[in-house]
Structure 1
């Protein structure tokens, strides 16, 4: 058997598992959003981070990396165990067609696994839903957790997409807004409740995922 996994978030720059091949390409009908909560990597239950998921949109395409794991059931099992720990906030695993640049009609690979989240704030406790750009940016600018700052996750994604020459306009807009929030925070004197980052340092004492788990997403 051969396992294919599509990375559209942090898996692009930090896959974290043993794979045999990777292909740059895209999937159809999905767009990135920052509508999912992260409470154990770059956020806390008291101050959730925002992390990336995919949501359906008919004409959308999403660029990323497809990773191939082959070499037997044990190697595939190890990869899946790692991914399921890492992607614990995603409640769905779906199969999609994956396309390479230059051929948008014929899939390069079928049945590629993708971790996504149900966009339902009632049935999915991790789904935050959309928010105003400035509100979302303020949340990302100030959230932090055991694995670091939420903003660094966003900036790493922006850089990774640039490195594969397929920038996502929505990510660029959000990252620029976060920089504006950070710029404003450094222009004023920081006192009392205006110290959002340091206020979350106790969060390192919350129960975290098993060792080896890193910031999600995919």
Structure 2
């Protein structure tokens, strides 16, 4: 059956490894939140960016993509890549993945997902919840080796939109960032 990996952030649009199959779907019992700090991709240790992690939440679903990686060599290459890329996430979980909202039978069982926990002893980059404006300001200002933090947010918003996922947390945060950028542009034009 191969190794299955669930992507709910940048893995949606940039896997970074070879895969045989890509499915759009969701996992149950979690919601996507911009609570994980990024000091290696979308921010720096001095000014961390914000990226998504999963927060357990009854009744919620988190949409994303499942990748099937086949062959021992491809699995090893993918896992080596993911262990570096996802190194700021302290938990690995195995969850069920669904493609049909009406079905109680998962499309894939035991799919691997990386999670940044809320335990600051284990996850030193966990930023946690904050007011929307505070998170938006942080995202506007943060930039790391993988580019501006806002690009991560906008790419995630676009990717979710492309497969018909409506995520209020992402939409509201993206709109707050756009508002700040628009105000900055207006101030720049006035000076």
C-alpha distance in structure 2 between counterparts of 1:167 and 1:9, whole Å: 14
* Paired residue total: 189
Asked whether the 8 Å contact 2:27–2:61 carries over to 1, the reply is: yes
Does residue 42 in structure 1 map to residue 42 in structure 2?
Answer: yes
| 1:52-201 paired onto structure 2 within 5 Å | 52-71=52-71, 73-189=72-188
C-alpha distance in structure 2 between counterparts of 1:143 and 1:102, whole Å: 36
C-alpha distance in structure 1 between counterparts of 2:122 and 2:19, whole Å: 33
Q: Which residue of 1 aligns with 2:4?
A: 4
Runs of 4+ residues deviating >6 angstroms: none
Task: Find the residue that maps to 1:11 and give its secondary structure.
Answer: helix
Deviation at 1:118, TM superposition (A): 1.1
- Structure number with the higher strand fraction is 2
Asked whether the 8 Å contact 2:89–2:123 carries over to 1, the reply is: no
Uncovered stretches (5+) of structure 1, i.e. residues with no partner = 191-218
Uncovered stretches (5+) of structure 2, i.e. residues with no partner = none
CA displacement 1:65-92 (0-9 Å, x = unmatched): 1100112x22111110001111111011
Asked whether the 8 Å contact 1:121–1:129 carries over to 2, the reply is: no
Asked whether the 8 Å contact 2:22–2:68 carries over to 1, the reply is: yes
Asked whether the 8 Å contact 1:21–1:68 carries over to 2, the reply is: yes
Deviation at 1:103, TM superposition (A): 3.8
Change (3 A) 1:121 1:102: closer
Change (3 A) 1:103 1:189: closer
Q: Which residue of 2 aligns with 1:16?
A: 16
Deviation at 1:124, TM superposition (A): 1.8
CA displacement 1:110-162 (0-9 Å, x = unmatched): 00000001112344201011001000000001111111100000000000000
Q: Calculate the TM-score normalised by the size of structure 1.
A: 0.83
Q: Calculate the TM-score normalised by the size of structure 2.
A: 0.95
Give me the CA root mean square deviation. Answer: 1.3
C-alpha distance in structure 1 between counterparts of 2:35 and 2:176, whole Å: 16
